[in-house]
Amino acid sequence: MITLTNLSKIFRTELIETHALRDINLQVNEGEFAALTGPSGSGKSTLLNILGTLENFDAGDYLLDGISVKGLSDAALSKLRNEKIGFIFQSFNLIKDFSIYDNIELPLRYRGLKASERKQRIEHALELVGLHARRDYLPGQLSGGQQQRVAIARAIAGQPRILLADEPTGNLDSLMARQVMELLEQINQQGCTILMVTHDPDQARRAGRHIQIIDGQLSDAVLYDPLAAQSA
Amino acid sequence: MEQFIYYLKVSFVSIKRAPLPYALTIFILSVGLGIFFANATFYYQLNSDPLPHKSSKLFFPMMLLAPYECTDCKPPAVLSYSNIEKLSQSDIPSAKTAMYSADGYLRKNAEQTPMPVNIRITQRDFFSMFDVPLLHGSVWPDNSARLEIILSKATAEKLFGRTDAVGEKLLLDDRHLTVTAVLDDWQMLPRLYDANNRNHLSPADDIYLPLETGYDMNYLSNTQSQTFDDTDYRKLSTQGRTGALNQLQYWVQLDTPTAQQAYKQFMANLAQDEKVAGRHPSEPNNQLVAMRNIVNYFGGESSDIKAFALVTLLFLLVCLFNASHLSLNRYLGNQYEFSLRRALGASRGQLQLQMLADVLLMAVFTIAGALLTGYAGIKLMNHLLPRNSLFSSWDLPLLLSLLAVAFICSYLVTLYPSLRASFGTLNQQLKE
Ligand SMILES: Nc1ncnc2c1ncn2[C@@H]1O[C@H](COP(=O)(O)OP(=O)(O)O)[C@@H](O)[C@H]1O
Ligand SMILES: [Mg+2]
C-alpha cells in the first residue's frame, strides 16, 4: 500500500544543506508490522513524517494506495491524514487541558462524524487500551504508559489503515513499554499496517519486518547493532 | 453549528491556559478602541447632516452691499433689515426667513423671579424650513409684528409645569406676550442655521419672537452686528430698519437647480440696481452658500476635534500593534497544538474556523471593553469640553459601524498571528 521510489529529502538552512533522506526505495504491504531502526539523526522521523504527509519531499515519488500524494491539495491531504493515517509520538502530544475523552475525540471532530458515532468509536478505543474508567481524567493525572495508551486510542479511534509510531516507547519504562508493544501487536493483528521507529532490539525483532536506515539511506547490512546504540 | 460551539469551547480552553496575556490583549484593544469610539462619536455627530432630505435645498445668501468703495471685501455674514426687505421681494424661494438671537428674562407674572432665556427672533417660515415640530398651537400666520411668543417644550414645562401653554400670558422683560405655540422636543444637530456665528454646536433657543416685534422691542443681537454707516446699533427700534445695521441671518429654500440659478441672477440684478442707485459703489460680490457647506465656509470647523481625531487614530494603531504582538506570542506558544491538529487531520479551512471562533470571542470581549471605555471617554470629554456635549449620543448606524470597527480590529489582531502559527513547519513541533 505504500510505495516510495527514489525519494529524497533535503533540509536547507542559510548555512547548510542536510540530506536527510537519499534515494529511498521502499514497499510496505497491507498488514505489515515494520520496525524502523537507525542511529540518531539518520532520518527516521523525517521518513515517518513524509509517510504521514506532514512533510513534503524534494525528489522521487510517494504512492499511497496507488495514488501519488504529490498532486494532492491541502484539503485532500488533510482528509487522507484524518482517515487513513494514525500518529503516535514519543512525547505523546496530548493536549494538557483536554480530558482523555476530548483528546481522543480530536481527529473524529475533524472528520465531521455525528456525536453518537464519535461516542461509540471513543468508547471502543478506550475499551481497547483499557482506560475506560479514566475517560474524564486530564493527561497529567495519568502515568506515562497510560498517556501513551491514550495517544494510541486517539490514533486508532478513526480506524486508520496505517499507524505511524515514532519511538512510542522511548519515554517509558520497560514494563509500560511492553504493554504498549502488546497493544500495537494486537492492533496489527486486526489488520492495521504499522511502521514504528524504535531503538529497542527486542521490539525490532518482534516486528514482522525490520527496516534499517543509516545516514538517510536504507541499508540491508547488519552494520548497526541496536544493542550497542542503546548503551552508547 | 454544534461543531462551531466546539470551536468556541476550544478557544475558551486556550484562553484559560494563559488568561493574563489574553486579558492584557483585550485591555489594550479596549482602551485604543474606546478612545477611538469616543472621538469618532463627536466627529460623526459634528459632520452629520441634520436635514438629509432637504439640506441640499437650503441656502444662505450673502451680499456685499456697502455704501462706500471697497476692494477685495468679503460679503458680511449678516445682512441689514433693508437688505432683507429687498431680498424678500423675490418669490423664487419656496420659503425664506430672517433671524437673529438675543437674551431676555422671562416670567409668568410679576411675582415670579425671572429666568434668563435665549430668544430666537425670526419669521414664520423658520419653523417649516428647519422641520421644527409643533406640540401645541400654531405658528404666526404672517411676518407682521405681534405680541406673541412660541416656547420650547422645556421652557413651557419649566414655567407652567406642563406643555400645553397655548393662550397663557407671559412677561418677557416685563412686556406682556401671549403664548401661541409650544414646540415638541427639538434639537437640530449641528444647528447649521446659526453657523455663521459659530453657534452651531450649542443647544436650541428657549423662545421664539416675531422679527418685527424683536425690532420694536429693541432686542439687540447677542451675537454679531456690524454697521456700515453712522447708525447707532443700540437704537434698533428707531434706526435699525433704515440704517446699514447688519445683524440678520437669512435663509432661503430653493427647491430646484433652476430656482437656484434664477435666485443667483436675482441677487446679481439686485447688486447691480444698488450700484446704479449709488448705494453700493464697489463691484458686486454675492454668495449663495448651501447649508451643508456653511460651517466650512465660515471656517467654523473645530480644529481641536480634528487634531484629537488624528491622535486617537494613531493611538489606536499603536494599540493594535501591541495587541497583535501579544497575540502572536500567545499563538506561537500554542504552535505545537496547531501542528498536532494538522497531524490529526485538520485542514487549513478547519483551522481557520477555529481561528474565527477565536476572533469571535475576542471581538465579544473587546466590544464590551471598548463600549465601556468609549462611554467613559465621552463622559470625560463632555467634562473637559462641555460645549461639545450635545454631540455625544450613539445612534444605530454609528453604533453598528463602531461594532464593525471593533470586530475588524479583533480580526486583525488574531489573523496574522494565527496564520503564522498555522503555516509554520508542520512536523518540527512534534518531532521531539
Ligand atoms: N526541520 C529541519 N530542518 C533542518 N534539518 C532537519 C530538520 N529536521 C531534521 N533535520 C535533520 O535531518 C536529519 C534527520 O533527522 P531526523 O529524521 O529527525 O533523524 P532521526 O529521527 O533518525 O533521529 C538530521 O541531521 C536532522 O538534523
Ligand atoms: Mg527521531
Going along chain A from its start, the domains and CATH numbers come out as 2-231 (3.40.50.300)
pLDDT of residue A81: 92
Q: Which amino acid type is present at position B264?
A: K
* CA-to-CA separations, B429 to A38, B328, B341, B353, B416, in angstroms, rounded: 21, 17, 11, 22, 20
pLDDT of residue A5: 95
B295 Cα: distance to centroid of ligand 2 (angstroms): 73
Cβ contact, residue pair A78, B432, below 8 Å: no
Point out the residue among A55, A78, A81 whose CB comes nearest to the CB of B427.
A55
pLDDT of residue B396: 87
Q: Are B420 and B328 in contact (CB under 8 A)?
A: yes
pLDDT of residue B144: 94
Q: DSSP characters for A41-69?
A: TSSHHHHHHHHTTSS--SEEEEEETTEEG
- Ligand 1 atom 21, closest CA: A45
Predicted TM-score (pTM) of the model is 0.74
Cβ contact, residue pair A45, B337, below 8 Å: no
pLDDT of residue B430: 58
- Taking the CB of residue B381, how many other CB atoms lie within 10 A of it? 21
Place of cell 447688486: B271
- Ligand 1 atom 27, closest CA: A41
Q: What is the mean pLDDT of each run of 10 residues along chain A (232 residues)?
A: 94 90 94 94 93 92 93 91 92 92 94 92 92 94 93 93 93 89 94 94 90 90 53 44
pLDDT of residue A222: 57
Q: Which residues contact B82 (CB under 8 A, 6 or more apart)?
A: B241, B242, B244
Distance, first Cα to last Cα, chain A: 36
Contact list in B for residue A106 (CB cut-off 8 A) is 341, 344
Interface test with A, best of B5, B335, B339, B344 (most A CBs within 10 A): B344
pLDDT of residue B432: 47
pLDDT of residue B274: 86
Query: Which stretches of B260-376 are assigned E, i.e. beta strand?
Result: 286-290
B154 Cα: distance to centroid of ligand 2 (angstroms): 82
- Ligand 1 atom 5, closest CA: A11
Q: Which residues contact B413 (CB under 8 A, 6 or more apart)?
A: B25, B29, B320, B323, B324, B327, B362
pLDDT of residue B269: 93
Sheet of A59-64: strand order equals A17-28, A2-12, A59-64, A67-68
Atom of ligand 1 nearest to the CA of A47: 17
Q: Is A203 left (phi over 0), alpha (psi -120 to 50) or beta?
A: alpha
How far does Cα A57 stand from its chain's mean position? 18
pLDDT of residue B423: 66
Give dist(CA B83, CA B64) in Å, integer: 10
B418 Cα: distance to centroid of ligand 2 (angstroms): 27
Contact list in B for residue A75 (CB cut-off 8 A) is 347-349
pLDDT of residue B425: 55
- With a cut of 70, list the residues of chain B below it in pLDDT: 300, 302, 387-388, 422-432
Q: Which amino acid type is present at position A163?
A: L
- Taking the CB of residue B245, how many other CB atoms lie within 10 A of it? 25
pLDDT of residue A226: 52
Cβ contact, residue pair A154, B344, below 8 Å: yes
- Ligand 1 atom 14, closest CA: A43
Q: Which amino acid type is present at position B259?
A: A
Kindly report whether the peptide bond that precedes residue B190 is cis, defined as omega within 30 degrees of 0: yes
pLDDT of residue A232: 42
Cβ contact, residue pair B343, A87, below 8 Å: yes
Interface test with B, best of A55, A109, A161 (most B CBs within 10 A): A109
Give dist(CA A227, CA A214) in Å, integer: 16
